[in-house]
Amino acid sequence: MFTWEVVDPAPGQPVGARQRLPWGKTVGLGVQHVVAMFGATFVFPVVMGLDPNLAILFSGLCTILFLVVCRNRVPSYLGTSAAFVGGVAAIRALGGDSADVTGAILLSGVVLLLVGVFVHFAGPRLLHAVLPPSVTGAVVMLIGFNLAPVVASVYWTVDQWSALLTATFLVFAAVLFPGFWGRIAVFLALVFGFVLSFLSDLMFGPITSCGGDGCTPEPHPRVTFDGLGDAAWFGLPSGTLDDGVAAVHAPSFSLVFFLLVVPGVIALIGENLGHVKAVAEMTGDDLDPYMGRALGADGAATALASLFGGSPTTTYAENIGVMGATRVYSTAAYYVAAVAAIGLGLCPKFGVLVAAIPGGVLGGITLVLYGMIALVGAKIWVENGVDFGGPRNLVGLAGGLVAGIGGVALDFGNGFEIGGIALGTVLVLVYFHAVGLRSRRRAATDEEVTSEP
């Protein structure tokens, strides 16, 4: 499995998953994959209140796990997933800490692992029936839009002008920058915002603000590098998160918190299915036999990372974009990228730099990224031709969307409550399939009446 055919075709000619370029070129491509996954992979842990060094480290480890489980047939990189961000925000709003967050995500990873095992042995047909594009698109959309209040109340208020300028730069970079530079727009926007905040400190001095509801505005610098000089160049991730939980920690488990994040599994299923299909289309390989392996590997990777306090994972479209641009699909390049990510994760100085990201910069980046998550749901609808002229799609999805986006809650008493993304997902699934079943029965009855003499 770890033997690749060495090829060196002319530029623009494809290189298959089980082929590789000479190691020098393969290393260069691996570095490109690191840069492509880098921005979102460490921004989302920061947003979720988890350790970014640990996320980078486990992104490398989990990518290797994914490649091995898929027998080096599915070239993909596993970076930090945004699917659970909304659920994590809900957990923290209810008083949960980072251990509660990683415990809920770990259980969700186990659910995805079981789905993968089922799909591997039963085939993907039933999965497509339960989660058609109309349902998957709705769940992804409500996950993204549910995050809008987080931007407004937590990040934007820290430094609104830095947030606005960073968001503006990200939009223009993603759309107007050529080729590869456009694909790393999140990372470039992060650098832009960081430099902008540093220069603002020099020119205008400290800013008086705070992030989060109920806090007291106080003067503070936008950028601080406290601890950078004392941090080692090499070492295991350590330290304490903002909520007092150790960066590397054991998860704790709660049914209520699990229900808040498990809808993210639907988004992960949609992402993995879409990415495997995209890779199959680019390479010309039949990857349907590996669909279950891909889902199960992502679930196992998410559970493994969460077991030690890391972030959830998913296959990354950014790296699929790199393959589309280079036409090099070699899994060998992904092993290089994974090893490089592990090296970054073992550098505490890098962790201090990440911790210094100003809140206003995160506000600008999340303003765009959360909206993009939501619009991926609309993209799923458009690409699959979902018809909203019929009442099943229009009415069957409407209630769940509003419940999920608006944070509607259902109180069962005794402290048990589901709401937001969890309730929205349940309503989308129940309403859509219930009216679909009723519609099919009515159609069958009408057909019988019509056929009577």
Residue that wins the pLDDT comparison between 36 and 72 = 72
The mean per-residue pLDDT over the stretch 424-429 comes to 81
Q: Distance between terminal CA atoms of the chain? A: 65
With 50 as the cut, is the pLDDT of residue 315 above it? yes
Residue 224 to residue 124: CA distance in whole angstroms: 50
Residue that wins the pLDDT comparison between 73 and 29 = 73
- Asked whether the whole model's pTM tops 0.75, one would answer no
pLDDT tier at 439, thresholds 50, 70, 90: low
Q: Cβ distance 364 to 167 under 8 Å? A: yes
Q: Cβ distance 298 to 313 under 8 Å? A: yes
Q: Where are the beta strands (DSSP E) in 217-374?
A: 218-220, 313-315
Distances (CA, A) of 113 to 86, 107, 110, 366, 453: 21, 10, 5, 29, 53
Pairing of strands 207-209, 218-220: antiparallel
- Nearest Cα to 53, choosing from 186, 211, 241? 241
Q: Cβ distance 235 to 348 under 8 Å? A: yes
pLDDT tier at 447, thresholds 50, 70, 90: very low
- Nearest Cα to 340, choosing from 41, 15, 7, 11? 41
Residue 259 to residue 308: CA distance in whole angstroms: 21
The mean per-residue pLDDT over the stretch 216-242 comes to 74
pLDDT at 113: 95
With 60 as the cut, is the pLDDT of residue 115 above it? yes
Residue 152 to residue 162: CA distance in whole angstroms: 14
pLDDT at 59: 92
pLDDT tier at 307, thresholds 50, 70, 90: very high
With 60 as the cut, is the pLDDT of residue 443 above it? no
What are the tokens at 356?
């210094």
pLDDT tier at 68, thresholds 50, 70, 90: very high
With 50 as the cut, is the pLDDT of residue 449 above it? no
* Of the listed ranges 10-19, 51-60, 72-81, the one predicted with least confidence: 10-19
Contacts of 29 by beta carbon, 8 Å cutoff, 6+ apart: 21, 322, 326, 328, 330, 333, 336
Q: Cβ distance 427 to 439 under 8 Å? A: no
With 70 as the cut, is the pLDDT of residue 212 above it? no
What percentage of the chain carries pLDDT values higher than 70? Answer: 84
pLDDT in tens, 354-363: 667 787 887 8
Residue 16 to residue 4: CA distance in whole angstroms: 9
pLDDT tier at 229, thresholds 50, 70, 90: low
With 50 as the cut, is the pLDDT of residue 252 above it? yes
What are the tokens at 40?
């979102």
Distances (CA, A) of 232 to 235, 238, 331: 7, 11, 32
pLDDT in tens, 185-202: 777 888 888 888 888 888
* Length of the chain (residues): 453
With 60 as the cut, is the pLDDT of residue 441 above it? no
pLDDT at 452: 53
